[in-house]
Amino acid sequence: MSKKELVNKVAEKMPELKKKDIKAVIDAVFETITEALSNGEKVQLIGFGTFEVREAEERTGVNPRTREKITIPARKVPKFKPGKELKEKVNK
């Protein structure tokens, strides 16, 4: 689902709001989560899931074009862990 489709789905559930206002709220939520993760914070939405930043260790990979071994440096990566309610709804 794209962001535009998400805005349309929310607009169907909340017809009293304008799509541009819904889009602004969704953008603000994503921006707030992104800022929190950038600052090393964990974002926990009870029932939905948890966003956090984890360290990915340095590892060896292979360049698919040349088949040359390369070193992929350590880095920080965002992770999402779904909450219990989300897991249950998905696994119905």
The H helix count followed by the E strand count for the chain is: 3, 5
Residue 16 has pLDDT above 90, yes or no: yes
| Structure confidence by residue, pLDDT tens digits, 21-53 | 999 999 999 999 999 999 999 999 999 999 999
Mean pLDDT score, 86-91: 93
Whole-structure pTM value: 0.79
Residue 76 has pLDDT above 90, yes or no: yes
Domains recognised in the chain with CATH numbers: 3-90 (4.10.520.10)
Residues in the chain: 92
Kindly give the interhelix angle for 19-38 and 3-13, rounded to the nearest 10 degrees: 120
Mean pLDDT score, 55-71: 94
- Cα angle for residues 3, 37, 32 (degrees, 5° grid): 50
